[in-house]
Structure 1
């Protein structure tokens, strides 16, 4: 870059500081790389020095939030050169920073980690895999074959990735455990529902969707303790399959 552009960012970022080896900031270096990859097209997008400063602030902030590293930037530039005829927007560049997930590997992970999640030992390499698994459903992932699951999981993963705003993997609420010899199934079930505070889950109207019947089942169990165990189990599975909640 011929003339350094001053940034308006009030909180300095490592991306905006002068790099000791480059002699310019990492953002200036990225600007130059994109200008070289898209001669005329890239620089033409900026009509003023302030426009460049705004670009630097916005992109560096996104890199900080997304945990982007210099190696990731190098990989993303290669992806852009192969796939983008025009200079990438920020969302496009951030997508290039994230390598495409291997569906087969992601599904194997989903199956293994859903089993481990039953015991609170799940570890996910990417939260998108968890949310795709939640869309398919814990019971189906554990009970169905890989071949049967793959098209459903692939479609679920695509929806999760396309939707953006992927949330972290939530902590699993302990599942109902079997009663001891001194407790009846019904008494133990009512006790555990109290411990899980099912009423708070029921009040979360924003997540109900078409699951009112399932939440009513949980509510009836808490109030009466007379809901058949199989009906209660179906309701809990339905809630988890749609929302990822354990109730």
Structure 2
């Protein structure tokens, strides 16, 4: 961290120090500057940045007039992604994730796909997904920390014939219940249940597809819009 801070100080001089200095000095060191070093060091570890990534970030910082914030520096450290390649990966891995077999080259690709949602990632065309996916990637990088990909769901053993029949019956009950809810909504009810399922799928990418489909259909049938 001292090396990184020295490099940044060499680029920006007191502009860097003035952004963090507290004026409280212990053992000849400003506590604000030392806290900045500690926080950045922790964020570098948390985001899994390697030395090559930090050097990429420094190279990008040379183009700036002012010292980067942490979020800006993280963006500079990230290798540029080919949106087309990343989207192809996201579609393929979202399908694989249904069986607990997904493997992601970059956590940002996963989170961009998760923001769009499993249902749309699997069902929509590449052309329709591309602008949404690119916007999600950009928003993630602007937001700063990108968390690791959550542990994938292990693949379950194939159900027995009896279990399959029970599951089919449960899904049909869900569908029939959804139909009744849709009717009630048209009479003054609400779609909170559907919006909760859709929001959960967008946040985690793990909402069951049958429930997600029912929720989306309910919103469409009632409002005439896709969610």
- The TM-score by the shorter chain falls in which range? 0.5 to 0.7
SS in 2 for 1:158: helix
Map residues 1-247 of structure 1 onto 2, 5 A cutoff: 15=1, 27=2, 29-45=3-19, 46=21, 49-50=29-30, 51-82=32-63, 84-170=64-150, 171-172=152-153, 180=161, 185=165, 187-189=166-168, 211-213=192-194, 240-241=201-202, 243-247=204-208
Give the aligned length: 181
Question: 2:92 & 2:35 partners in 1: Cα distance?
Answer: 44
Deviation at 1:135, TM superposition (A): 3.0
Larger radius of gyration: 1
Distance 1:66 1:86, change over 3 A: same
Shift of 1:178: 7.7
Shift of 1:134: 2.6
* TM-fit CA distance, 1:103: 1.6
Task: Judge conservation of contact 2:57–2:76 (CA < 8 Å) in 1.
Answer: yes
Higher relative contact order (CA 8 A, sep 6+): 2
Distance of aligned partners of 1:32 and 1:165 in 2 relative to their CA distance in 1, 3 Å threshold: closer
Structure 1: runs of 5 or more not aligned: 1-14, 16-26, 193-209, 216-234
Note closer, same or farther for the CA distance 1:166–1:212 as it changes in structure 2 (3 Å cut): farther
- TM-aligned CA deviation for residue 87 of structure 1: 1.3
Structure 2: distance between partners of 1:72 and 1:62:
13
Quick one: structure 1 residues 43 and 133, their matched pair in 2 at CA, closer, same or farther if it must change by over 3 Å? closer
The Cα of 1:149 is off from its aligned counterpart by 1.6
CA distance in 1, matches of 2:157, 2:123: 19
1:131 Cα deviation after fit = 2.5
Write the deviation string for residues 182-207 of structure 1: whole angstroms up to 9, x where unpaired. Answer: 6673x234689xxxxxxxxxxxxxxx
Structure 2 gap ranges (5+):
172-190, 209-227
User: Structure 1 residues 135, 39: closer, same or farther in 2, change over 3 A?
Assistant: closer
What SS does structure 2 have at the residue aligned with 1:88? coil
Closer, same or farther: CA 173–137 of 1 in aligned 2, 3 Å: farther
Partner in structure 2 of residue 223 of structure 1: none
Q: Which residue of 2 aligns with 1:21?
A: none
Displacement after TM superposition at 1:54 (Å): 2.6
